Amino acid sequence: MRKLVVLLMLLGATSMSIAVPVTNGLLVSLDSTQGVTTSGTAVTAWADSVGGNTFLQATASRQPALITATLNGVSQNVISFTGGTGGDVLAQQSTSSNLNSNPAPSAFTWYVVWNPTVVSTSQRIFAENATINGGTTTTNFGIGTNGTVLARTNSGTTSATAVLSTPPTVGVWYVSVGSWDMTTGIAKTVLYDFATGNLLEQATITGANGILNNGGFASFLIGGSSTSAGSNFGSFMIADLLVYNRVLTTAENTQVVSSLIPEPATITILALGAAALLKRRK
C-alpha cells in the first residue's frame, strides 16, 4: 500500500507541475500546486518561483480559497477568487522583487490558466498598477474575465481594449495570452481551449502607448484592479500565471502554451507506467 501511495503521489506531481520552457525575461511564475500558504482553505499568500514575488491577501476577510479542480482529467489544487464589491485579491508585496525595476519594462507578455465563474467586462483576472508619466498611479494594463485586454494610452487617463467577439464560457478552462508593447502601442489578447490546445480567438489593438518611467511599479494584483472596495474584482479559478518583461516570439509562445496544456496522452502513459510497475512488484 505504501508503494502505491508513493507512486500515485509521484504521478500526480509529474502531471500537475510543468517546467516553464522559456525563462528569458520571466518576471513571475505562479503555480497553484506550490508556493501557496493557507489558513484552513483560505489563501493568505502565493509565492512565485523566479522573482522573489510574494502575493498577499488584501485583508483577512477577502482571501481567495484553495480548492480542488479537474484539469484535463487530472485533479489538482487551484485558487478560487470571488468577485463583487468586497472581492478577493492578492497583491504583490516584495519591493525588492524584479517587478519593481526603474525604469520599468516597456513590454509585457502574460499567460493565465483560468476558468471563469462570472464573465464580465469590468471584472479583472489581474492588473498592474504603475506610476506613469506625470507621477499618477493608475492601472496600466489588465485582463478581464471576458478575456479582453486593456492597456493605457500615453496620457495615462484613457485606455484601449482588445475585445474578443466571443467571450469565454463559465466553467471551462482556458489559457489566455496577452501582450503589450508600449513603444509600438500594440496590445493583443489570445484565447486557447485548455482541453484541446486549439486557438479559439485573438484580438489586437494599436495606439495604447503607455509610459512607465516614473518610479517603476506600484503594485501587481491578482483578482482585481486595486485592493480598494469596488475595484473590478473578478470571479474565477486560476492554476498558473506567467509574466514576461518582453513580447515573446511566435516560436516561444508555442513552447509556453504547449507546456501549460499537458496532453492527455502524457497522463495516460504515466498512469500505465505506474500500473505496470505496481503489477511487476506484486
CATH number reported for the structural domain that contains residue 62 in this entry: 2.60.120.200
Q: In terms of domains, do 145 and 274 share one?
A: no
Q: In terms of domains, do 86 and 194 share one?
A: yes
Residue pair 170/117 in contact by the 8 Å Cβ criterion: yes
Q: What is the mean pLDDT of residues 220-240?
A: 84
Q: What is the mean pLDDT of residues 81-96?
A: 75
Distance between CA atoms of residues 73 and 233, nearest Å: 29
* Number of domains within the chain: 2
Question: What separation, in Å, do the N-terminal and C-terminal C-alpha atoms of the chain show?
Answer: 11
Q: In terms of domains, do 64 and 78 share one?
A: yes
**Own/partner pairs for 66-71, CB < 8 Å, 24+ apart?**
66/32, 66/36, 66/38, 66/41, 66/42, 67/41, 67/237, 69/115, 69/237, 69/239, 71/113, 71/173, 71/194, 71/239
- What Rg, from alpha-carbon coordinates, does the chain have? 19
Kindly report which listed range (57-61, 81-85, 226-230, 255-259) carries the lowest average pLDDT score. Answer: 226-230
Q: In terms of domains, do 155 and 85 share one?
A: yes
| Parent domain of 278 | 1-18+267-282
pLDDT of residue 229: 64
Residue 235 pLDDT exceeds 80? yes
Q: In terms of domains, do 198 and 244 share one?
A: yes
Residue pair 224/231 in contact by the 8 Å Cβ criterion: yes
Q: What is the mean pLDDT of residues 87-105?
A: 67
Q: In terms of domains, do 112 and 184 share one?
A: yes
In this predicted model, what pLDDT tens digit does every residue of 46-71 receive, in sequence order? 998 886 778 888 777 789 999 999 99
Distance between CA atoms of residues 39 and 63, nearest Å: 10
Q: Say if residue 77 is exposed, middle or buried (CB neighbours under 10 Å; 0-12, 13-18, 19+).
A: middle
Q: Tell me the CA distances in angstroms from 106 to 26, 209, 264, 282, one per residue in order.
A: 14, 10, 37, 59
pLDDT of residue 103: 62
pLDDT of residue 58: 73
Specify the DSSP class assigned to residue 122.
Answer: S
Confidence of residue 251 (pLDDT cuts 50, 70, 90): very high
Cell of 123: 471584472
Q: In terms of domains, do 55 and 6 share one?
A: no
Kindly report which listed range (133-142, 166-175, 213-222, 231-240) carries the lowest average pLDDT score. Answer: 213-222
Confidence of residue 8 (pLDDT cuts 50, 70, 90): very low
Residue 21 pLDDT exceeds 80? yes
pLDDT of residue 61: 77
Q: In terms of domains, do 11 and 23 share one?
A: no
**Cα torsion at 255, 257, 260, 266 (round to 10°)?**
-70
pLDDT of residue 280: 47
Q: In terms of domains, do 46 and 145 share one?
A: yes
Distance between CA atoms of residues 126 and 147, nearest Å: 11
Q: In terms of domains, do 87 and 182 share one?
A: yes
In this predicted model, what pLDDT tens digit does every residue of 107-128 receive, in sequence order? 889 999 999 999 987 888 988 7
Q: What is the mean pLDDT of residues 232-242?
A: 93
Q: In terms of domains, do 208 and 279 share one?
A: no
b/e for 146-160, b at 16 or more Cβ within 10 A? bbbbbbbeeebeebb
Residue 255 pLDDT exceeds 80? yes
Distance between CA atoms of residues 143 and 120, nearest Å: 11
Residue pair 128/140 in contact by the 8 Å Cβ criterion: yes
Q: Say if residue 255 is exposed, middle or buried (CB neighbours under 10 Å; 0-12, 13-18, 19+).
A: middle
What SS3 class is residue 12?
helix
Residue 105: cis peptide before it, omega within 30 degrees of 0: no
Cell of 176: 489566455
Q: pTM (2 decimals)?
A: 0.83
Q: In terms of domains, do 250 and 273 share one?
A: no
CA contacts within 13 A on the Cβ side of 137 = 11
Confidence of residue 131 (pLDDT cuts 50, 70, 90): low
pLDDT of residue 275: 46
The mean predicted confidence, pLDDT, of the chain is 79
Confidence of residue 194 (pLDDT cuts 50, 70, 90): very high
The percent of residues above 70 in pLDDT, for the chain, comes to: 73
